[in-house]
Each structure stands twice: as structure tokens, then as C-alpha cells.
Amino acid sequence: MDGAGRLARSLRSLRPQADLKAAALGAVILLREWLGLRRVSARPSLEREPPHPAIALIERYLPNRAGVAATVLMLLASAGLGIVKGGHVEELTSA
């Protein structure tokens, strides 16, 4: 502050710059998280809890793409129901 009780510089001027080394380390950490690069430990973590038994059962016995097939089946069934309820069966069969 100068002698009149005002700030010596403009309020819009740049604040003191952050430490360059700390800023670079922060950028590296954010980039690593954004890219999904994590340090992998040599031994597995014991903090992970086992999945729910129902989820384990589903993952064990259903094929990998069963969810995609169920989604496509649901979309086709809803389109078919819309055609029947909307009264467009004749138009569809004539086309």
C-alpha cells in the first residue's frame, strides 16, 4: 500500500505467479489421471471387496454380448408394439 491507503498496483493486474515447479507437477498429475495412466503395484490390492453373489453368477454364466443382444431385442419389440398399437400394420405389410 502506498501512503494514501490504496493498493500500489491495479486490482486487475496479475497476481504473483505460482511456483513453476509446482505447476508443472500438477499438470503432470492431471495429465496422468486424464490419460488413465496409473502406477500399477506389484501385488494386488486386498482392499477390493468381492462382487455381490448375483453379479458374480450373471458374469459367470451369461455370454459377453448378452446385454447388447437384450438391448437390440428390446428396441425391436418396442418398435413392433408401436406399429401394432399405432395401426400401421397394413401400411407395413403393403410396403
Q: Collapsing DSSP states into helix, strand and coil, what is residue 30? A: helix
Q: pLDDT value at position 77?
A: 97
Rounded Cα–Cα distance for residues 89 and 87 (Å): 6
Maximum C-alpha span of the chain = 92
Helix (H) or strand (E) segment spanning residue 32: helix 20-35
Q: pLDDT value at position 41?
A: 56
* pTM of the predicted protein model: 0.42
**Per residue of the chain (95 residues), what is the pLDDT tens digit?**
555 665 666 666 565 555 778 888 888 888 888 787 666 555 665 677 888 899 888 888 988 889 999 999 999 999 999 999 999 999 988 98
Q: pLDDT value at position 10?
A: 62
